[in-house]
Structure 1
Amino acid sequence: MKKIFILIVGICSLIACKNEPKKQEKEEKPRAEQPVPISDDVLETAVIYEANIRQYSEEGSFNAFTKDIPKLKELGVKVIWLMPVYPISSTKSKGSLGSYYAITDYTKVNPEFGTLEDFRNLVKIAHENDMYIILDWVANHTGWDHVWIKEHPEYYTQDKDGNIIDPINPETGESWDWTDVADLNYDNREMRQEMIKDMLYWVKEEGIDGYRCDVAHQVPVDFWEDAAARLREVKPVFMLAEAEQPELLKNAFDMQYAWKGHHIMNEIAQGKKNAEDWDAYIAKNDTLLEEDDIFMNFTSNHDENSWNGTVFERMGDAAETFAVMTYAIPGMPLIYSGQEYDMDKRLLFFEKDTILKNKGKFYPLYEKLGKLKKQNTALNGGKKAASYNRLSTSDDKKVLAFAREKGGDKIVFIANLTDNPLRFTVDARGSYTNYMTGEKMEINAGTSYDFKPWEYVILTAN
């Protein structure tokens, strides 16, 4: 089983990078006190935010993002996941700016975003707001300008002629078309140790709180277990796997993506699946996962938005319903940069494409959901998540209804998961308040309810 995830409070001193001039050391300010340790209780109520620094502001800088950290606190955000902040390779680069995931140096910051001091200030302000910073870590591959390419070609996967290759899809044997990166060879033990050394830098020297690990399923499990153990010798860290692989959660990671759940949401919104498919997904997870495993629930992220479409393209009028579901079901909800501003465009991945910050429907929605998740233990979604019980309805294929309970709190979620009006009954009873409207409601098993297409309610027990 995994180690209990508790961050240790401490005051960390800023340490300059080895290759920075000594005069910069005099300009450094003491790092702020870390927030109250992340305990299991904190994870129960946490919301995670994926920050796309390049597109978040017109400046595309650490400093511009840092100014908005208090706004994220308003939304209930507790964990900020920064997409890769490292220098980007120019060799074989895609587009004019390249991919964040084609890394030249794991221990420096991308000058496009600002300086190391700017990054340190971002971490400081996040900690002062009782928020935590995790970095996107790309262990599967590097950019073609990484020093290892020339100095340690043995660190990379090579073809029969000794040429370093880009990553290969193991299912097809063909390239993923990630031609801007070089595939790392995890049979090389020296490379593994160098990778862990670079991961340790950000935790020990810069005070970050963990990692979101890119394509974690393509990297050997025993590497992640070794890396996590080494990191936790420094302090407990929060580890998120871009994977849906239960064995990663045993000793390495605290949370994984709910990819299957996300795809089912998309397919229900498109009329290809129904509420009973969701029930089957939940039932299967119960057989695969331990009680303290955590899912990250989402309607969008950088991959989905840029390559598969905006949440409105994929989910249409169901977008709000499923956004609310990511908070109502067990797990930790994700907000991707721009979702709070009703972003309705696919962000360019290799070019500048600023997010427009116009508050519409979703900002107050996320704000309200964040407050409920923080205040009501029935929405606890971490290692000690509230119970989840499906409620029978007169049309279980079209209506999803469930109750969650913990610590004397109870919520009921009911949704019409179709694009047609429905009349139905729910096998539940009690006095509730519609959290979104404040309206009092009596629920009885024999009462019929009329819901519009994609209509939902979150009911809190009186």
Structure 2
Amino acid sequence: MGNRVFALFMLPFLLFCAVPVQAAEKEERTWQDEAIYFIMVDRFNNMDPTNDQDVNVNDPKGYHGGDLKGVTAKLDYIKDMGFTAIWLTPIFKNEPGGYHGYWIQDFYKVDPHFGTMEDLKTLVKEAHKRNMKVILDFVANHTGYHHPWLNDPAKKDWFHEKNDIFNWDDQQQVENGWVFGLPDLAQENPQVKRYLINMAKWWIKETDIDGYRLDTVKHVPKSFWQEFAKEVKSVKKDFFLLGEVWNDDPRYIADYGKYGIDGFVDYPLYNEITKVFSKRDQSLRPLYDVWEYDKTFYDRPYLLGTFLDNHDTVRFTRLAIENKQNPITRIKLGLTYLFSAPGIPIMYYGTEIAMDGGNDPDNRRLMNFRTDKEIIDYIKKLGELRQQLPSLRRGDFTLLYEKNGMAVFKRTYKDETAVIAINNTGKTRKVHLTNNQLAPGKELRGLLAGDLVRSDRDGYDLILNRETAEIYVLAKKTGLNIPFIATLIAIYVLFGLFLYYVKKRSKQTT
């Protein structure tokens, strides 16, 4: 009897706490909805000691033991942070010393340091079970230094003549020169072209991967990429090609989009984002200016890959430290921008633990999973919000306010409006947004830090502490729900009458 009475007593509270959640409209997932976690396989997680040949964790240029099984074991860890895809450095068999994967010896084999073909297939299957996609790094420009083809007279014309690149503005030198002395493949040779395209299609058919990150795109003729893209996309629907065109001019990069490459890693944004967030009191206006260029020059600017650092750059943490800044604070602000601005956010492994590192190979240290979780927990919030709010993935992008590092952006998609506020300064800042900038008579609900801003007749006043950020969604004002309160009172009255009836009944029975 007591339990039943207690349950009835708690019913009004349960009803009060039950908040109706509006079901999000289901839309077909596209690549601009993804968030990518980038892994250097050898430096991530060692789960299979049987493939630990030549491992020396004290040698920055040696093998450290990471393998495909190690990546599979951490898929839940990656997904929990909100990432929906992984990008792996090349897993093809490399010549000795090629821990990074870019000195390919055999294009049709998995490097034994990383595991087997079955390990790769298992990784892809397990990722797909979790609704995650897998991108492989693909090298079409060159082979390893000592590839067997170099000693094969029948394949002499498979390579360009050995020449260094002296003039990086000369496209012919860029495409035919030997980058870092690596043997440069002659893609204009029909046999070479056919070999590379067939090989690319074979990996898709064998493993069911979802995309390629294309290495050193500008060193390969555009005519090759045009045929390559057409052929590989005929194998699997929605297969994604992400190109690496390392250049500061968005017009130069965007031109490759005419040849079938879907998106590109955004180096012009990288140049600005590292300046803006590696120290405080830096204006965020340059980031928005890059977006304006991107909209102008790219057919699909929402497919650009945005990043704080990668395996070819100094770690973002190192930049913050050199500027005498707290790297954790700086990373949080930088990632807030990446996860809420247009583009596909790409996070290099180790960023979630503020991994330090200088130039290659110091920026490729072994991952440590036993560290402070402060950034990880923050990334989880960002990842959840990006998946919950279509406006953060698909919305337009408008700069509402910027002054000396305090910035407010707006993203609108269908009926949803998100507002991103980032205080990149050393002081608490207040920003007034007018009714012309945001619809009047509503409120901004902070979903990252829990802030709440109700409008007055003049607009909205946002106050942000130093070096913090908030992501708001514009919503109807909350207030007294008269029908709900009336219902609640009625429930209590009925509940009181029920208790009176029970008490009266018990007296009669005694």
Sort the TM-score into its range (normalised by shorter chain).
0.7 to 0.9
* Partners of 2:306 and 2:343 within 8 A in 1: yes
Residue in 2 aligned with 1:144? 145
Q: Secondary structure at the match of 1:225?
A: helix
* Partners of 2:214 and 2:242 within 8 A in 1: yes
Residue in 1 aligned with 2:29? 41
Q: Distance in 1 between matches of 2:363 and 2:341?
A: 35
Q: Which stretches of structure 1, 4 residues or more, deviate above 6 A after TM superposition?
A: 172-177
Aligned Cα RMSD in Å?
3.0
Q: Secondary structure at the match of 2:384?
A: helix
Q: Give unpaired runs (5+ residues) of structure 2.
A: 1-26, 47-64, 476-510
- The answer to whether the aligner puts 1:398 opposite 2:405 as a matched pair is yes
Q: Distance in 1 between matches of 2:122 and 2:266?
A: 32
**1:361 corresponds to which letter in structure 2?**
E
**1:66 corresponds to which letter in structure 2?**
T
Structure with the bigger percentage of helix: 2
- The answer to whether the aligner puts 1:456 opposite 2:459 as a matched pair is no
Alignment counterpart, residue 81 of structure 2, candidates 75, 82, 88: 75
Q: Tell me by how many angstroms 1:426 deviates.
A: 3.3
Residue-by-residue CA offset, 1:201-246 (whole Å, 9 max, x unaligned): 1012222122000121222222111011111221221111112511
Alignment counterpart, residue 299 of structure 2, candidates 272, 290, 304: 290
* Partners of 2:317 and 2:357 within 8 A in 1: no
Q: Distance in 2 between matches of 1:307 and 1:171?
A: 28
Q: Distance in 2 between matches of 1:240 and 1:66?
A: 22
Q: 1:215 to 1:48 in 2, by over 3 A?
A: same
- The answer to whether the aligner puts 1:86 opposite 2:88 as a matched pair is no
Q: Tell me by how many angstroms 1:419 deviates.
A: 4.1
Q: Tell me by how many angstroms 1:150 deviates.
A: 2.1
Residue in 1 aligned with 2:333? 321
Q: Tell me by how many angstroms 1:349 deviates.
A: 3.1
Matches of residues 358-373 of structure 1 in structure 2 within 5 Å?
A: 358-373=371-386
Q: 1:351 to 1:299 in 2, by over 3 A?
A: closer
Residue in 2 aligned with 1:128? 129
Alignment counterpart, residue 434 of structure 1, candidates 412, 421, 446: 446
Residue-by-residue CA offset, 1:9-28 (whole Å, 9 max, x unaligned): xxxxxxxxxxxxxxxxxxxx
Q: Tell me by how many angstroms 1:128 deviates.
A: 1.6
Alignment counterpart, residue 60 of structure 1, candidates 58, 66, 83: 66
Q: Tell me by how many angstroms 1:279 deviates.
A: 3.0
Q: Give unpaired runs (5+ residues) of structure 1.
A: 1-38, 91-95, 159-163
Residue-by-residue CA offset, 1:323-355 (whole Å, 9 max, x unaligned): 110011111111211122332345863998421
Q: Distance in 2 between matches of 1:146 and 1:182?
A: 8
**1:412 corresponds to which letter in structure 2?**
V
Residue in 2 aligned with 1:51? 39
Q: Distance in 2 between matches of 1:448 and 1:195?
A: 57
Q: Distance in 2 between matches of 1:186 and 1:411?
A: 46
**1:290 corresponds to which letter in structure 2?**
D
TM-score (norm 1): 0.79
Q: 1:451 to 1:351 in 2, by over 3 A?
A: closer
Matches of residues 36-435 of structure 1 in structure 2 within 5 Å?
A: 41-58=29-46, 59-90=65-96, 98-151=99-152, 152-158=155-161, 164-165=162-163, 170-171=168-169, 178-179=179-180, 181-236=182-237, 237-243=239-245, 245-269=253-277, 270=279, 274-291=283-300, 293-305=302-314, 309=318, 316=327, 317-346=329-358, 349=361, 353-357=365-369, 358-380=371-393, 385-391=394-400, 393=401, 396-427=403-434, 428-429=437-438, 430-435=442-447
Residue-by-residue CA offset, 1:18-50 (whole Å, 9 max, x unaligned): xxxxxxxxxxxxxxxxxxxxx852434211111
* Partners of 1:141 and 1:167 within 8 A in 2: no
* Partners of 2:315 and 2:356 within 8 A in 1: no
Q: Tell me by how many angstroms 1:422 deviates.
A: 3.9
Q: Distance in 2 between matches of 1:136 and 1:169?
A: 27
Q: Distance in 2 between matches of 1:204 and 1:321?
A: 40
Q: 1:308 to 1:403 in 2, by over 3 A?
A: closer
Q: Distance in 2 between matches of 1:221 and 1:153?
A: 23
**1:171 corresponds to which letter in structure 2?**
D
Q: Distance in 2 between matches of 1:307 and 1:349?
A: 15
Q: Secondary structure at the match of 2:196?
A: helix
Q: Tell me by how many angstroms 1:452 deviates.
A: 3.9
Which protein has greater RCO, CA pairs closer than 8 Å, 6+ apart? Answer: 1
Q: 1:57 to 1:330 in 2, by over 3 A?
A: same
Residue-by-residue CA offset, 1:51-100 (whole Å, 9 max, x unaligned): 1111112441111211111221212222211111112223xxxxx55542
After superposing the two structures, state which structure 1 stretch, 426-435 or 69-78, moved more. 426-435
Q: Secondary structure at the match of 2:356?
A: coil
Q: Tell me by how many angstroms 1:313 deviates.
A: 5.1
Say how many residue pairs are matched: 408
